[in-house]
Amino acid sequence: MDENELRMSSGDWYLPDYPELDELDADMVRRERGCAAYNAAEGVEERQAILEQLLGSVAELVRIRPPFHCDYGYNIRIGTGTFVNFGAVFLDVAPITIGAYVRIGPNVQLLTPAHELDAERRRAGWSKALPITIGDNVWLGGGVIVCPGVNIGENTVVGAGAVVTKDLPPGVLAVGSPARVIRKLN
């Protein structure tokens, strides 16, 4: 692993160099083929086999309705019994860890890339990504966006259309943009 790859995987700012881009391009081609095959597959068994090759780790009883899109796939880990509805986009430049029995509504986006705010550095291509962790038994309503570096505690419910910019504790209901906790759940 070169210095840029180490910085990329640790959440530090990095500037991709050309040899690294060639490897990442090859990963993206593999991912594009995997997502296309998954989205075209017709049976549960066929989809499960593709997911096991596409993603870093997929437990039993995971169901993802197509279309499904991701950046690399190998940075995604999904726990037992998780359900992901239509139109999910998981940008997994950094790790995405999803617990067991999570429910993810349609058109949910889990976005690990962070963007440089300084115009010069952004133009130069500086990038970083921060991991996302979703605890067990979380429910993300339709259209939820989870931003880089966010952790969502177990048993939390996030209302449809919320934009989660900061960590959410376990066992709460959060809504809005940006998402805010409105009450604890039993």
Give the catalytic positions in this structure: 115
At residue 122, the 3 state secondary structure works out as helix
Tokens coding 180: 């805010």
At residue 141, the 3 state secondary structure works out as coil
Cβ burial, residue 62 (10 Å; 0-12/13-18/19+):
buried
CA 143 to chain centre: 14
At residue 37, the 3 state secondary structure works out as helix
State how far the Cα of 114 lies from the Cα of 134, in Å rounded to an integer.
18
State how far the Cα of 11 lies from the Cα of 148, in Å rounded to an integer.
10
Q: What is the DSSP string of 135-156?
A: -TT-EE-TT-EE-TT-EE-TT-
